[in-house]
Amino acid sequence: MNFSSKLHSFFRRKTLDAEMAEEMRGHLERRTQANLAAGMSPDEARYAAQRQFGGVDQLKEVARHERSGRWLEPFFRDLRHATRLLAKERGFTAIALITLALGIGANTSMFSLLNSLLLHSPPYPESDSLIRVFRTSPTFQTGPHSPANFVDLEARVKSFSQLAAFTPVGHNYAPPGGPVEQLRGLRVSGKFFAALGVQPALGRFITAEDDHLGREKVIVLSDSIWRQRFAADPAVLGQPIRLDGEAVTVVGVMPAGFEDRLLWGQVAGWTPLAFDEETRLNRGGNFLALIGRLAPRVTSAQALAELNVIAADLAQ
């Protein structure tokens, strides 16, 4: 059964279930009549027909599975739930996305630009110049990047004043005298905060100097985690905390609202990417999201043209 037939069956599933039940009753009735003609009593004929036909409920489930509408049910249930949530958050729902996609062949590296224009202003200065950079393919337009491709892009691209990478990470945080907690963080490259252009509320943010092995044991806390876990104590700056079994020094706290839910969701803290040499050479693992700030007087079309050239070189 092809996809269109399965989709059609999903929306007609109540009618099809009724038709299937009627057809099964007809089969049972015919088998029962045949058993009566063979000399069985009415009860024996009915029970024998049921045994010969098999479990009705199991057969119904098999038929429903073959129609393959069940995989759509959780999708539409989640869709209804999401629609109700979005209806309550009108500002979040009203998002316009402009995507400029680049395709240079099915077997090559490809990139696209995406500029998020929100009805409410993002919490970053001159947000119109912030651009998401994606790896694209003929079938997927918002792919992540490999570390090696990011390293090459950062070194070569001139259309961006800053280009940064980030990826989500889970942390095990061990508070003094308390049980281990699970925290969600972001690992970021050295130009991440500079690209967004937001100054920390306390201390400093992660810089290119931190983005190297041996210097990476630092963390910038979010405002919410600073208040919830450290009682908004400024003395936390310069203090070590236990993160993933290691001592990590708190170097900064970002202002409230910096944890943008549209880009990366709720974040407890930011730590450096700090690639080792093997990771820096990795072109097969794509797990990095990229965000950049356009250089002054550079348009997104000009940036895309430059990425065309770089992508073509990387493809070779």
Quote the tokens at residue 77: 């249930």
pLDDT single digits (tens) 145-161: 999 999 999 999 999 99
Answer yes or no: are the C-beta atoms of 259 and 228 closer than 8 Å: no
Quote the tokens at residue 274: 């700090």
pLDDT single digits (tens) 189-199: 999 999 999 99
Length of the chain: 316
Answer yes or no: are the C-beta atoms of 298 and 159 closer than 8 Å: yes
**Is pTM, for the whole model, over 0.75?**
no
Answer yes or no: are the C-beta atoms of 53 and 31 closer than 8 Å: yes
Name residue, tokens 């999708």: 75
Q: Angle, to 10 degrees, between the axis of helix 56-67 and the axis of helix 42-53?
A: 30
**End-to-end Cα, the chain, rounded Å:** 41
Type of residue found at 288: L
pLDDT beneath 50: ranges in the chain:
1-4, 6-7, 10, 58-59, 62-63, 65-69, 71, 89-108, 116-120
181/196 Cα distance (integer angstroms): 29
Type of residue found at 230: F
Which is nearest to 112 in space by CA: 249, 290, 263, 273?
A: 290
294/313 Cα distance (integer angstroms): 21
pLDDT single digits (tens) 2-24: 444 544 554 555 665 666 666 66
Longest CA–CA separation in the chain, Å: 95
Contacts of 263 (CB under 8 A, 6+ apart): 116, 291
Answer yes or no: are the C-beta atoms of 1 and 69 closer than 8 Å: no
188/166 Cα distance (integer angstroms): 4
Looking at residue 76, what is its pLDDT?
59
304/111 Cα distance (integer angstroms): 8
